[in-house]
Structure 1
Amino acid sequence: MNKRICLLTDSLGSGGAEKMVSNLSISLSKKGYVVTVVSMLDIIVYPYKGTLYNFGKVKNNNKLKSFLKFKAFFKTQQFDVILDHRIRLNFIKEFIFSKVIFKNENIIYCVHHFNLGLYFPLVNVPWISRSTLVKNREIVAVSKEIQNKIKQQLHLESHVIYNYVLLDNIEANNDLEIPNSYNYIIGVGRLTSVKQFDVLIKSYKNSELINHDIKLLISGEGIEKTNLNKLIIDLNLNDFVKLIGFKSNVLAYIKKAMALVLASKSEGFPMVLIEALTLKTPVVSFNCKSGPAEIIKNEENGLLVDNQNSDMLTESLNKLLLNDTFYNKIKSNLSLSSNPFSEENNIQKWINLLHKFN
């Protein structure tokens, strides 16, 4: 009998962790696993395979009734393994979950960000933080830097499994809402302070790209949208910087871009970088914690910029985009190199981990 797998997620939309849940549902279903995706929020954007339990639609304002529904669902399903990709901030909630709902479950806790507090509540008190974890568990970190931090800060062992790209998910829709002659670089992600699109806009403003009519597109939605629009106006960049919103076919925009740029304060293992490289689009990124240093080979597939050095980010934009010889070398390297962030290179690691549970 094939294993029954639950992919537990905050949602199925607008983030790298959620995109990995989407990818895993498709990959594990193809391998014959019986997959159920449980979404805590009623946000379903990314494609998935298997059964969807949209808890965001089921729950209500009565927390006790919602809790009992959630508990009853897991009791009746009897999953073999639960892959928990959620943000886990609330200690009391996670403690109750681990002692009541998930007490006898096999769980793989998935850590998608270098900020461990997002996944281990009260992380600065390790023994208390560890009390939110079930006994029958494994932990997956999406980068080696995260794995090391989990070991150092929480004294817990973990496995590293990189995010991967599904080529089947790269939409054939190339009908972009921009002119065919448009030359641009692109930033992609939630419009939040940690993504630092304001830093990207300022670095772009200080570069020579405007003089060469190379635009900047930013795809995403979020709470910083109003501030970013104001910054664009204040810097007189209305004709050069465009906030294009969330795009379901954003991969088509990345594929056509001259480069993808990441200026985040921190990350986990940025999906947008590996998507760009898979699409043979050069990348420029701060060497933030964590992920970029494990993805980018400096001056081979892109440029790795000293962490939070905005002046160097500006210089790197000029170096990559305005030096045809250097740019063509990077593009050629991308065409010739193999892709370590493919499904086949990573799905077997997940399967091996699933079968550690009897």
Structure 2
Amino acid sequence: MKRNQQDSLNKAPLSLYIPSMAGGGAEKITVNLANCFADQGIKVDLVVSNLKGPLIKDISDKIRIVDLKSARVIFSLIPLMIYLGRNKPGAILSSLNYANVIVIIATLLANLLAKTKTRVYVVEHCNLSQTLLHPPNFRTKFLPLLMRLTYKWADGIITVSQGVAADLAKIIGIPREKIFVIYNPVFNKNVISARMETPDHPWFKPGSPPVILGAGRLHPAKDFSCLIKAFKALREQLDVRLIILGEGEERSKLELLIRDLGLQDDVDLPGFVGNPYEYMYHSSVFVLSSQREGLPTVLIEALACGLPVVSTDCPSGPREILEGGKYGFLLRVGDELSLTKTLADILTNKVELERIPNETIMTYEHETAAKQYMKLLIGESI
């Protein structure tokens, strides 16, 4: 980084915006980036609409947290404009498309009214076309129009995978060459020590049956129902258990399914855990059952822990990460029978996978991604 650019970053804060500190992938990535920037001596503001969620404890004490105290993202527009006008950050980085729209508008208005010169960058974590097939709410139907109107004013658009980039360019009409792909900063060197700890869970005692692990927000897009049903068939063949880490709106539905299938003694939903690596290191296989993704963080984390992985070949990310199935099994979305058979084959040592090279895993290391982000945020090409 050039000296004058470093000096400007020390004088004006670099702002990262996220709606809350919920335990999702985008929130986790934002915290990872903010911590990495702060460790480099950069003045960082982490701006949130509503300061709540389990990831608060992971924020470095070197970071200033700015709570806009807004119940919804749209109500953050004016407080965000005021923040930008008063603090004049050199750049603001936003994640999640509905929030990105608001952040772009707030930055444009602050630059106009308060005569600031804040650059605005937005990150797309999900495959937009797949989201539109299963809109979580009414406002989602208007997202493409809002994104077409606002994204052209961003100083940079970043996606987390090539698949997300191609999809975004097609849906909102932005030239592909104007979209930058930066893989997520998923883990740091602390993974090596964190994964060695033993989970505080009775199913990991010596001599216990093997554990299949799933992780992610308990949301329809993750299709944990498919995983549970496939596990039911597998349980009839092998003595095995299933743990799904994460929290979300589908908890009650999944718990009912577990009861209906008589799996209460073999499936556990422990919720959000602070150290998923220890679960990954001590499990026998990891499953990603999603219907859609952007670049699934948990899949990369599982690979970094040396865990065999099975994933749906959903758009976008798994095929990219696993290099077409070279480093993990790719199955059709919703294919319970294939999932059951593949898990059985792995657990009975009928199949083997090539281990992913360390240099490939390091593509997703914090510092690697942070350097690429920083080049964009200070106006250099990557």
Q: TM-score, normalised by structure 1?
A: 0.86
Whether contact under 8 Å (1:108, 1:140) holds in the other structure is: yes
Query: Does residue 133 of structure 1 match 2:159?
Result: no
Match of residue 256 from structure 1: 282
Q: Which has the larger share of helix?
A: 2
Q: Distance in 2 between matches of 1:211 and 1:136?
A: 54
Which runs of at least 4 in structure 1 moved beyond 4 Å after TM superposition?
Answer: 93-96, 116-121, 334-338
1:319 Cα deviation from its structure 2 partner: 2.1
Match of residue 67 from structure 2: 55
Query: Does residue 25 of structure 1 match 2:21?
Result: no
Superposition pairs of residues 275-290 of structure 1, within 5 angstroms: 275-290=301-316
Q: Distance in 1 between matches of 2:144 and 2:120?
A: 23
* Worse-matched range after superposition: 146-155 or 44-53: 44-53
Decide whether aligned partners of structure 1 residues 300 and 325 sit closer, same or farther in structure 2, where only a CA change above 3 A counts: farther
Whether contact under 8 Å (1:90, 1:121) holds in the other structure is: no
Per the alignment, in what secondary structure is the counterpart of residue 329 of structure 2? Answer: strand
Whether contact under 8 Å (1:8, 1:86) holds in the other structure is: no
Per the alignment, in what secondary structure is the counterpart of residue 122 of structure 1? Answer: helix
Q: Distance in 2 between matches of 1:325 and 1:245?
A: 32
Deviations 1:44-80 (A, max 9, x none): 4331234233425x3479x98x654332211111111
Match of residue 242 from structure 2: 216
Superposition pairs of residues 265-280 of structure 1, within 5 angstroms: 265-280=291-306
Q: Distance in 1 between matches of 2:254 and 2:279?
A: 20
* Worse-matched range after superposition: 278-287 or 303-312: 303-312
Q: Distance in 1 between matches of 2:320 and 2:357?
A: 19
Query: Does residue 11 of structure 1 match 2:20?
Result: yes
Q: Distance in 2 between matches of 1:75 and 1:233?
A: 54
Q: Distance in 2 between matches of 1:51 and 1:140?
A: 23
Whether contact under 8 Å (2:148, 2:173) holds in the other structure is: no
Decide whether aligned partners of structure 1 residues 235 and 175 sit closer, same or farther in structure 2, where only a CA change above 3 A counts: closer
What amino acid does structure 1 have at the position aligned with 2:200?
Answer: L
For structure 1, list consecutive stretches of 5 or more residues without a partner in the other structure: none
Per the alignment, in what secondary structure is the counterpart of residue 284 of structure 1? Answer: strand
Query: Does residue 245 of structure 1 match 2:255?
Result: no
Match of residue 93 from structure 2: 83
1:218 Cα deviation from its structure 2 partner: 0.9
Per the alignment, in what secondary structure is the counterpart of residue 212 of structure 1? Answer: coil
Q: Distance in 2 between matches of 1:140 and 1:67?
A: 22
Percent identity at matched positions?
26
Q: Distance in 2 between matches of 1:303 and 1:75?
A: 50
Decide whether aligned partners of structure 1 residues 45 and 27 sit closer, same or farther in structure 2, where only a CA change above 3 A counts: same
Aligned residue among 200, 218, 226 for 1:199 = 226
Decide whether aligned partners of structure 1 residues 297 and 316 sit closer, same or farther in structure 2, where only a CA change above 3 A counts: farther
Per the alignment, in what secondary structure is the counterpart of residue 167 of structure 1? Answer: coil
Whether contact under 8 Å (1:94, 1:132) holds in the other structure is: no
Per the alignment, in what secondary structure is the counterpart of residue 211 of structure 1? Answer: coil
What amino acid does structure 1 have at the position aligned with 2:251?
Answer: K
Q: TM-score, normalised by structure 2?
A: 0.81
Whether contact under 8 Å (2:213, 2:286) holds in the other structure is: yes
1:101 Cα deviation from its structure 2 partner: 3.7
Decide whether aligned partners of structure 1 residues 251 and 109 sit closer, same or farther in structure 2, where only a CA change above 3 A counts: same
What amino acid does structure 2 have at the position aligned with 1:287?
Answer: D
Per the alignment, in what secondary structure is the counterpart of residue 107 of structure 1? Answer: strand
Deviations 1:163-204 (A, max 9, x none): 132234533653422241332011111111111111110111
Match of residue 160 from structure 1: 181
CA RMSD of aligned residues (A): 2.9
Count matched residues: 347
Query: Does residue 37 of structure 1 match 2:46?
Result: yes
